[in-house]
A and B are shown apart, each in its own frame.
Chain A
Amino acid sequence: MRTPPCGHTRPPDRIDLADPDLHGGDPHAAWRTLRRWDPVSWQPVPDRSGFWAVTRHLDVRTVLADHARFTSTGGVVLSMLGRPEPAQNQQFAASDPPRHGLIRGPLQQQMTARAVARHEPAIRSFVRELLGPADGLVDFVSLTSALPMAFLGPLMGIPAADWPDLARWVSMSVAEQDPDVMLPGGPSATLDRGHRELFAYLLDLVLSHRRRPRGDLVDLLGAMPLRAGAIVANCYSVLLGGSAALPHVPRAVLAELIRTGRYEDWARRPERIGRAVEEALRFSSPAGHFMRLATSDTTLGGVHVAAGDAVVVWLGSANRDESVFRDPDTLDPDRHPNRHLAFGEGRHYCLGAAVARLTLRVFFEELFATFASFEPAAEIERVRSNWLGGIKRMPILAGRR
């Protein structure tokens, strides 16, 4: 551990960042303590050795930007710690350059801000339909859960009717420790099941695209010189990346606007929506962590890291780093500059960032135009997961304009 900055000698109480209960409560106090006292902190994990938890903005950027020192090929989420990664070098998310770019490159062209702009009308009408009937008592979680379908239809050819099944399997794959989705067999069995259901679904989807191409991302992947398993694994990345995190952004923001009484203040000024979306991403940071493995002995933030060690960057913590963001716990729609890391950094920077930004902008525009006020109706419940940071129950009273 490093010497704390200002004369204090009290070490932090033992903090276990892998513990899903920590995230089901409020992880920010723990992150704040680690940033201050132990910013590159060894976290032992029973039976699976452990990992370095990286909580400061600067160190997180260093890890994500340096794929030569910190590889993605050993799995990129904590649930893969100590397990072999079968998608190593097959899935671009689990590959390093140059292999990574060979697969990602062609997809990237379809995912730029300019390329996704053509989907805006479809996204808007989808959002209008979602919000359409909502009035009075609503669960804002149910209301927002299908939001990813606004673009997964156009991007992957997934029919809206498949969403309820997909949503359940995605939850099993990213929040396997949450009691709402966990199977009696435990987290590992839940993860396996969700994963296999999705693989089966996506293999069928790839085949249906072979019969009838749609000019979307699945066709692009299907045409690449990859084995079938790799094609499906990449579809899996896009589907999971696309569906897991996004709905948590408006949930976290609306909960905070209700708590602080600032809904109308946000709703009144649609012209500042661009900055507000960035702040929404920073504040909510729904993709909580990503993992890398050190390729050689190295130092990070003054700490020695050995070759092969797992290094986990906590994006939700980096995005509240008080040395980068003034009043980091305040949701400030005018914050500028806003160097948040909600989409990561470097070569693996989120492939879906542009379509996520577009969808969030449209969603907030429609929300603000449709509703005059919101009030809390019952306690909010958070997801019990060390990866997915967010809210899973949010009953509110909605008043239309």
Chain B
Amino acid sequence: MQTRSELETMLTRLWSEKLNVTPVGVDDDFFALGGDSLLAADLLMDLYDQLGVEVDAAVLFLKPTIAELVDEVLAA
């Protein structure tokens, strides 16, 4: 199980990759950075594959920040 900061680093990398944006902050909004619903689905699926945990998809779609997502992964 990764620590918060490891997860944050990993997610920041994943978001930059998907969105073609750097730097990405942990409180940035995925959709405000140019993400769309299709990319959000891609990103969650990658995350599930890499971490082997699934979170409620509504988290990324409705509270779209790395900070919220990490909370959710840690709780999962």
B61 in contact with A199 (CB, 8 Å): yes
A200 in contact with B62 (CB, 8 Å): yes
B56 in contact with A199 (CB, 8 Å): no
A229 in contact with B37 (CB, 8 Å): yes
How far is it, in angstroms, between the C-alpha of A201 and the C-alpha of B62 when the chains are bound? 11
B69 at the interface (CB under 8 A from A): no
How far is it, in angstroms, between the C-alpha of A222 and the C-alpha of B31 when the chains are bound? 25
- Interface size class, chain B: 10 to 19
B62 in contact with A227 (CB, 8 Å): no
Nearest residue (CB) in A for B37 is A199
B38 in contact with A229 (CB, 8 Å): yes
B56 in contact with A204 (CB, 8 Å): yes
B67 at the interface (CB under 8 A from A): no
Residues of A within 8 A of B42 (CB): 227-229
A228 in contact with B41 (CB, 8 Å): yes
Nearest residue (CB) in A for B60 is A200
A228 in contact with B58 (CB, 8 Å): no
A204 in contact with B57 (CB, 8 Å): yes
A interface SS class: helix
B37 in contact with A196 (CB, 8 Å): yes
Known interface pairs A228-B42, A229-B42. Does A197 touch B37 (Cβ–Cβ under 8 Å)? no
Q: Which of A196, A197, A204, A229 contacts B39 (CB 8 A)?
A: A229
A102 at the interface (CB under 8 A from B): no
Residues of A within 8 A of B62 (CB): 196-197, 200
B17 at the interface (CB under 8 A from A): no
Known interface pairs A196-B62, A197-B58, A197-B62. Does A203 touch B38 (Cβ–Cβ under 8 Å)? no
A199 in contact with B41 (CB, 8 Å): yes
1/0 per residue B33-48: CB within 8 Å of A? 0001111111011101
Known interface pairs A203-B44, A207-B48. Does A232 touch B58 (Cβ–Cβ under 8 Å)? no
Nearest residue (CB) in B for A231 is B41
Residues of B within 8 A of A199 (CB): 37, 40-41, 57, 61
B54 in contact with A207 (CB, 8 Å): yes
Residues of A within 8 A of B61 (CB): 196-197, 199-200
B57 in contact with A203 (CB, 8 Å): yes
A87 at the interface (CB under 8 A from B): yes
Q: How far is the CB of B19 from chain A (nearest CB, A)?
A: 13
A90 at the interface (CB under 8 A from B): yes
Nearest residue (CB) in A for B64 is A196
B48 in contact with A229 (CB, 8 Å): no
B48 in contact with A195 (CB, 8 Å): no
Given contacts A199-B61, A229-B37, A230-B38, 13 further A-B contacts (CB under 8 A): A86-B37, A86-B38, A90-B38, A200-B61, A201-B57, A203-B57, A204-B56, A228-B44, A228-B45, A229-B39, A232-B38, A233-B37, A233-B41
Contacts from A to B (Cβ < 8 Å): 86-87, 90, 192, 195-197, 199-201, 203-204, 207, 227-233
Which 3 residue pairs of A and B lie closest in terms of their CB atoms, listed nearest first? A229-B38, A228-B45, A86-B36
